[in-house]
Amino acid sequence: MTVEAPSRDAPLLVTGPASAHAVFQRAVGQREVLRTADAFLPAIEALPGIRATSPQIVGNGFVIRGQSRAPVAVTGVAPEKVSTIADIAGNLVAGEALLTHSTVLIGKTLAEDLGIGVGQSINLQSDRDVERALIVAGIFSLGVDALDARAAFISLAAARTLFDLEQGISRIEIKLEDLNGADAYALRIAALTGLKATPWTEGNAQLLDGLRAQANSGDLIKAFSLITIVIGVASALLLSTYRRRPEIGIMRAFGASRVFVVAVFVIQGTLIGIIGGVVGAGLGYLALSPFPIPENAPRGGLPIDVRQGAYGLAILLTTIGAMVASILPARAAARVDPVEVIGQ
């Protein structure tokens, strides 16, 4: 989630009839700056569910290497928070994540395009026509082309010089414990600080649509699995009812009521559901446990978060499904006529 200064509306310079209003347009290069970020940071960090915060200065510029120029999005961060939001240190392919007043971290694709290596010097020119010579301290690969090819990280001190910003910052990036709560936290932080809080969901509508479609597909698969369970249990109990008709007739002849017969088959179906659910959930957990969880998965691996498995819910639904499936066979067993089946 990103916290920024709210956009200012263009003010009216001349009032009068509606057709005679004059509006002042802000200069294109003017930036919204959080000049009192230190006053908001403690309140934001104190909120439960906030994992980390990172004050940043952002802007556009060019990396110049000899006759080559490449546009970059420059992010100035505190050296100790360079990996707070994106794990830069954990995704280095060369060098180290060390930011000083004279070093820079760049993406792997950008380094390959310009033929830059660790320890070499580049010139970084901002959109304010300020140019600085920096040494490449590290090269990272986050697996996102927009970052690997067009991102450069420098220290906050270097960013202030590069973008001619004496005080304040551009934004505060926030990492949450639960990414699904971004919308609620954005409203809460906006109300608390009066700043513009933008959740990650606002700029990732297509990704959210894809995730919802995937979740709906998963729910559909679960529904068909539950239907399969019901059909399987019902078929097994119907077959059991047919084979045990003489036994059921003897029970009825000895005074067993139809309610008792129904109860016997329902209990049998319930036990099948409980045992099957527990065994299935246990085998599923054991089968998925060797896979790494998302935060520990290597790039290109197959991360599976076994902690997200709703094992209790799976057992409960399986039990309920088996219980429902046993009702039809139980009613069929209760209708058995002792006179007809005992002699068979």
Residue whose pair of structure tokens reads 């499936």 in the numeric block: 325
pLDDT at 31: 60
β-pairing, 131-140 vs 171-176, is unpaired
pLDDT at 14: 52
Determine if residue 165 is left, alpha or beta; phi over 0 gives left, psi from -120 to 50 gives alpha, anything else beta.
beta
pLDDT at 295: 65
Handedness of CA 251, 257, 258, 262 (dihedral sign): negative
pLDDT at 328: 82
Q: Is the pTM of this model over 0.75?
A: no
Determine if residue 194 is left, alpha or beta; phi over 0 gives left, psi from -120 to 50 gives alpha, anything else beta.
left
Candidates 18, 299, 276; CA nearest to 140 is: 299
Straight-line distance from the first to the last Cα atom of the chain, in angstroms, rounded to the nearest whole number: 74
pLDDT at 258: 82
Candidates 130, 133, 138; CA nearest to 160 is: 130
CB 254 within 8 A of CB 215: no
In this prediction, the residues of the chain whose per-residue pLDDT falls under 50 are 19-20, 24-29
pLDDT at 183: 86
CB 75 within 8 A of CB 170: no
pLDDT at 8: 59
